[in-house]
């Protein structure tokens, strides 16, 4: 890896960097070395905007099939045993 020397005038050599209050997604930065749980933020509803373009298209036939399946047999969720096997 190459190194690039950076020559700064004396007036710029005494600057300091301060961390921003929050990241680009609004989550606060944490410099605490001890891991903590997830960060939960309250956001006003008017601050939430949907994307201007859809991220993906929904196939109407597949959506209808899924709705019928849920109506007939209910919403299926894998059990704890199944999830444990996936972790192996």
Domain ranges (residues) in the chain: 23-87
Per-residue pLDDT, 37: 76
Distance CA 3, CA 62 (A): 55
User: Is there a contact between 39 and 27 (Cβ–Cβ < 8 Å)?
Assistant: yes
User: Is there a contact between 41 and 27 (Cβ–Cβ < 8 Å)?
Assistant: yes
Per-residue pLDDT, 79: 63
pLDDT tens digits in sequence order for the chain, 88 residues long: 455 555 656 665 554 555 555 566 666 666 566 667 777 888 888 888 877 776 778 899 999 999 999 999 988 876 666 666 666 5
Per-residue pLDDT, 1: 47
């Amino acid at each position: 890896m190459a190194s690039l020397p950076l020559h700064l005038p004396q007036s710029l050599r005494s600057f300091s960097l301060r961390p921003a209050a929050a990241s680009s997604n609004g989550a606060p930065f944490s410099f605490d070395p001890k891991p903590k749980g997830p960060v939960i933020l309250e956001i006003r509803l008017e601050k939430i905007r949907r994307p201007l373009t859809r991220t993906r298209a929904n196939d109407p036939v597949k959506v209808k099939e899924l709705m019928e399946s849920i109506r007939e047999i209910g919403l299926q969720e894998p059990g704890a045993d199944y999830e444990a096997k996936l972790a192996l």
